[in-house]
C-alpha cells in the first residue's frame, strides 16, 4: 500500500467517525498469578470494591490476568500469521501501557474502577473472538463479524485489520461497557474525566505499535510515515479520540433511555452505526485482486513474526 493510499484511508476513516450514529490494593499475601478463566464466574459489570472477585473489585491483579490472557491468545495467531494477530497485538500493547500508567496512583481519579472497566471491556472482545472461532457466528456482533471474516479470508491490509478492530471495540463495545458499569460516581459526579485520561496514555502507544505491526506482520502498515513526522500516528489518534468521544455520548443515550424498548432501539442504532463504519473501512482497505493481495505481507510475516 502506498503512502498516498494509507493517508487516504485515514482521511476516509475520519469521515467515517462522523457518521450518525481509588488507590489500588496490592496485598503481598495474594497469589502472583491468577488465570483469567478463574475470574469469570464472579465477574459482574457492577463495580464492587468489596468483592472477592479481583476484577469486580478493580484489583490490579485483574489487569495482569487480562494481559496474560491476551498474550496467550496472541501467540498462536502470530505463529500462524493469522491476520487477527494485528488487532490482538495492538490491544495487548495498549493494555500493557495501561498497566504501566496505573503505577502512578494519581493518574486516574478512581483507578480501581478503571481496572474494573478494563476487564469488562476486554471480556466483550474475548467473547466475540471465542464465538467466531468456535463457529457460533450468530453470536458475534455484526461489526466484529466484518473484522473476523476479513481476517479469515485475508481480504484487507494490516492497516485494515487494525482499524476494523479499533472500530468494532470502540464504536460497538465501548458504549455498551460504559453504560453497564455506570457513567457517574456514587457522589453523582461524572466519570468522564477518567474516560478522557485514557487518551493521554494512548498517545504513547500508537507509534510504537504501528512500527511493531509493520516489523512483524505487514511492512506496509507504516507506509504513511514521513521521516521526522508522526503523520500516520496523528491521524490514527485523532480518529480514535473521535470514536471514544462518540462512545461516551452513545453510552449517555443508553443511560437516558426511559424504557427497555427505548434502550433496545438505542443499542440497535449503535450496532448499526458500528457495522456501517466497519463496512466502509473494509471497502477502503481491501486488497484489489489481481492487482494486490496479502501474499507479500504473508511472506513477510512468515519470516519476521517472531522478531522482537
- Residue 292: give the domain boundaries: 3-21+71-103+135-179+188-304
If you average pLDDT over residues 203-214, what whole number do you get?
Answer: 94
What pTM was estimated for this model as a whole?
A: 0.89
Percent of the chain's residues with pLDDT above 90: 79
Q: Is residue 3 predicted with pLDDT exceeding 60?
A: no
Question: Residue 100's pLDDT band (boundaries 50, 70, 90)?
Answer: very high
pLDDT in tens, 148-182: 999 999 999 999 999 999 999 999 999 999 999 99
Q: Does residue 264 have a pLDDT over 70?
A: yes
281 in any annotated domain? yes
Digit-coded pLDDT (tens) for 214-247: 999 999 998 864 444 444 667 888 999 999 999 9
Q: Rounded to whole angstroms, how far apart are CA atoms 20 and 106? A: 36
Question: Given a cut of 70, is residue 192 above it in pLDDT?
Answer: yes
Among the listed residues 270, 264, 61, the one whose alpha carbon sits nearest the alpha carbon of residue 173:
270
CB 86 within 8 A of CB 73: no
Residue 43 lies in a domain: no
Q: What is the pLDDT of residues 69-84, one digit of tens each?
A: 999 999 999 999 999 9
Q: What mean pLDDT, rounded, does the chain reach?
A: 89
Q: Return d(Cα 282, Cα 240) in angstroms, integer.
A: 17
**DSSP string of 147-202?**
HHHHHHTT-B-HHHHHHHHHHIIIIIIHHHHHHHH-SB-TTS-BSHHHHHHHHHHH
For residue 37, is pLDDT > 90?
A: no
Lowest model confidence (mean pLDDT) among 15-24, 86-95, 166-175, 215-224: 15-24
Evaluated on CA atoms 138, 84, 87, 238, the torsion sign reads negative
| 36 assigned to some structural domain | no
What pLDDT, on the 0 to 100 scale, is given for residue 234? 79
Residue 13 lies in a domain: yes
Q: Is residue 194 included in any domain, yes or no?
A: yes
Q: How confident is the model at residue 32 (pLDDT cuts 50, 70, 90)?
A: low
pLDDT for 1: 54
Domain membership flag for residue 32: no
Does residue 274 fall inside a structural domain? yes
Number of domains in the chain: 1
Amino acid at each position: 500500500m502506498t503512502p498516498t493510499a494509507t493517508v487516504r484511508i485515514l482521511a476516509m476513516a475520519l469521515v467515517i467517525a462522523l457518521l450518525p450514529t481509588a488507590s489500588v490494593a496490592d496485598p503481598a499475601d495474594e497469589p502472583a498469578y491468577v488465570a483469567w478463566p478463574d475470574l469469570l464466574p464472579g465477574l459482574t459489570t457492577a463495580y464492587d470494591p468489596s468483592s472477592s472477585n479481583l476484577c469486580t473489585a478493580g484489583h490490579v491483579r485483574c489487569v495482569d490476568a487480562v494481559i496474560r490472557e491476551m498474550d496467550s491468545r496472541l501467540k498462536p495467531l502470530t505463529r500462524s500469521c493469522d491476520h487477527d494477530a494485528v488487532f490482538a497485538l495492538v490491544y495487548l500493547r495498549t493494555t500493557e501501557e495501561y498497566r504501566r500508567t496505573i503505577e502512578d496512583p494519581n493518574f486516574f481519579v478512581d483507578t480501581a474502577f478503571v481496572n474494573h472497566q478494563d476487564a469488562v471491556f476486554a471480556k466483550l472482545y474475548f467473547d466475540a473472538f471465542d464465538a467466531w472461532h468456535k463457529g457460533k457466528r450468530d453470536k458475534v456482533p455484526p461489526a466484529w463479524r466484518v473484522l473476523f471474516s476479513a481476517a479469515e479470508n485475508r481480504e484487507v491490509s494490516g492497516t485494515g485489520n487494525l482499524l476494523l478492530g479499533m472500530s468494532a471495540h470502540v464504536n460497538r463495545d465501548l458504549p455498551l461497557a460504559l453504560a453497564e458499569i455506570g457513567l457517574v460516581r456514587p457522589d453523582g459526579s461524572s466519570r468522564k474525566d477518567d474516560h478522557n485520561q485514557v487518551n493521554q496514555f494512548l498517545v504513547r502507544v500508537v507509534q510504537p505499535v504501528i512500527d511493531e505491526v509493520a516489523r512483524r506482520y505487514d511492512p506496509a502498515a507504516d507506509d504513511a510515515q514521513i521521516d521526522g513526522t508522526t503523520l500516520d500516528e496523528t491521524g490514527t489518534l485523532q480518529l480514535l479520540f473521535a470514536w471514544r468521544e462518540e462512545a461516551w455520548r452513545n453510552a449517555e443515550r443508553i443511560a437516558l433511555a426511559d424504557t427497555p424498548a427505548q434502550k433496545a432501539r438505542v443499542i440497535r442504532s449503535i450496532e448499526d452505526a458500528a457495522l456501517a463504519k466497519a463496512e466502509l473501512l473494509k471497502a477502503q482497505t481491501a486488497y484489489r485482486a489481481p492487482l494486490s493481495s496479502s501474499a507479500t505481507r504473508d511472506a513477510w510475516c512468515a519470516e519476521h513474526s517472531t522478531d522482537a
